[in-house]
Structure 1
């Protein structure tokens, strides 16, 4: 088993304007995957703007592997419907961690990641910040392969290996 580069705390904050997959609503949940690791949020019933506010800790072994998120609509009597997917890269966060941080005040923006149709699913610019000794990034991801929807996430690189 290989040693992880570190751990990434992913907070799935909320979904915005998610697609309708039931009569006039959906019962959404999010599946997060990196490599062979697969985690999922709880299902939120009848809500197109769900608030999950759930934290997940991912072991990052390969910085070249994107983190993939897929939103599903939970169904009791049939297969769950896909409500779109998105992915993001951890490389910009790891690159920002190489900067000289001596004397930087908390809240300093270390890097800005721009939306790119071919490289990421960002809906808007995302800033990587150094806050109270932590590397943080807030993301708004536009879902692909669906008519509408966004996911809001917060990332926090965990420097201490005692997660």
Structure 2
């Protein structure tokens, strides 16, 4: 008599859902890292440009060049602001998928715990049945010897 877990199909379905949630979470982490890296590069570019501009100002810079740099920095700040919003959205998305992954993980653990308890009950029932069979055999042997 072999053991068969009655919720095996459900457990495999939950494991597949967990794997999908893990994959989606990893994708969201990758997208977050990409967006954050782009923001970092924009901030670094702005910092370098401001440092370049301050260095040039000490040596002398025409009004036209100052305007050009200020306009460029203004456009860069708008791009940075937009990128910051994208980072926030990516972080929120990543957090959402992390929660979903944790929920799926908990569901799988519940079914694994049920399987573990069910397996223990099955083994105890088998031991009990074997014990009864051994008692029956002992009684039969005793009766046969007695006659």
* TM-score, scaled relative to structure 2: 0.18
Instruction: Tell me: higher relative CO, structure 1 or 2? Use CA pairs within 8 A at least 6 residues apart.
Output: 2
Higher strand share: 1
Q: Which has the larger radius of gyration?
A: 2
Q: Larger helix proportion, structure 1 or 2?
A: 2
TM-score if structure 1 supplies the norm length?
A: 0.17
